[in-house]
């Protein structure tokens, strides 16, 4: 029996985990089960010291079509408290993925709409196929992109969020790259090679330092300008004093390969 109903999770010998939304017949749309399974997988990946990098993608032709129609119907049938609770599950799942203490690489092989855009924005790096299409389409259904909005705004900024959210108009991969939703766009045939290059680069970094840097970025972004000096000074001292920091500096001075790299 499969461990998950709506996704797959496999880790290769290098410690690269492949997290795949696996509802291709529903264009990998988000429902209660997929949201819960993604939350569970994110917690497990965070705790697994053998995992160095996580690649997030979708099975079939679509990355993620947003919220599933059946999930919408089920949510509408609830009382208000139930609808708020369902919405909160989606928000918590996105935040758990965003706070994953490993690099999260998005392999965006097909279209993404609504909540699917939210899934892209929690990735640290997102590589997209040139023929993919995108849209923050909630307003066209009379809804709002509520749970995904903190992550979308953090990734593309307030002005570009307005330009994409308020009309719900679709846009292509080239525009997604221009506004910062995607970091790179490549022909579909080159997608796996482009993702692998990003993965290989991240495997050169010390895992503990990566986790600390992700936390640092989040903390600094949340602070008022001018309040960063004390925090960043303390964090760098922590890094210098960590086992990884000592090993990295020793390796640099001795011109050796640090222990977390494959050539060590």
Helix residue spans in the chain (DSSP H): 32-47, 69-76, 80-98, 115-121, 149-156, 158-165, 173-178, 191-202, 207-221, 228-241, 243-254
pLDDT band at 263 (very low <50, low <70, confident <90, very high): low
**pTM of the complete model:** 0.91
Neighbouring C-beta atoms of residue 106, cutoff 10 Å: 27
Q: State the average pLDDT over residues 219-233.
A: 80
The bridge status of strand 125-129 relative to strand 171-172 is unpaired
One-character DSSP codes across 79-95: -HHHHHHHHHHHHHHHH
- Structural contact between residues 94 and 148, judged by C-beta atoms closer than 8 angstroms: yes
pLDDT in tens, 119-147: 999 999 999 999 999 999 999 888 899 99
pLDDT in tens, 171-213: 999 999 999 999 999 999 999 999 999 999 999 999 999 999 9
- Tokens representing residue 179 in the block: 């506004």
pLDDT band at 235 (very low <50, low <70, confident <90, very high): confident
pLDDT of the residue at 199: 98
Q: For 171, how many CA atoms within 13 A lie in the half-sphere containing its CB? A: 22
- Tell the residue number behind the tokens 């990003």, with chain if given: 198
Sequence-distant (≥ 6) Cβ neighbours of residue 171 within 8 angstroms: 133, 134, 135, 164
- Structural contact between residues 111 and 88, judged by C-beta atoms closer than 8 angstroms: no
């Amino acid at each position: 029996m499969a461990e998950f109903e709506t996704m797959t999770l496999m880790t290769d010998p290098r410690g690269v985990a492949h997290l795949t939304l696996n509802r291709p017949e529903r264009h990998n749309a988000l429902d209660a089960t997929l949201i819960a399974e993604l939350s569970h997988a994110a917690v497990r990946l965070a705790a697994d010291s053998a995992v160095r990098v996580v690649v997030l993608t979708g099975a079939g032709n679509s990355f993620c079509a947003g919220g599933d129609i059946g999930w919408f119907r089920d949510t509408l049938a609830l009382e208000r408290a139930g609808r708020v609770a369902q919405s909160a599950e989606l928000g918590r799942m996105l935040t758990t993925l965003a706070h994953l203490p490993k690099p999260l690489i998005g392999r965006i092989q097909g279209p993404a709409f609504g909540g699917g855009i939210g899934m892209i924005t929690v990735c640290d790096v997102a590589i997209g196929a040139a023929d993919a299409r995108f849209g923050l389409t909630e307003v066209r259904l009379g809804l709002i992109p509520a749970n995904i909005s903190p992550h979308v705004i953090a990734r593309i900024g307030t002005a570009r969020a307005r330009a994409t959210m308020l009309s719900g108009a679709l846009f292509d991969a080239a525009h997604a790259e221009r506004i910062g939703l995607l970091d790179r766009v490549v022909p579909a045939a080159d997608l796996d090679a482009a993702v692998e290059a990003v993965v290989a680069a991240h495997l050169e970094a010390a895992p503990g330092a990566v986790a600390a840097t992700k936390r640092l970025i989040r903390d600094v972004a949340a602070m008022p300008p001018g309040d960063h000096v004390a925090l960043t000074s303390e964090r760098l001292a922590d890094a210098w004093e960590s086992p990884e920091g000592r090993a990295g500096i020793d390796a640099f001075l001795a011109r050796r390969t640090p222990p977390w790299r494959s050539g060590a």
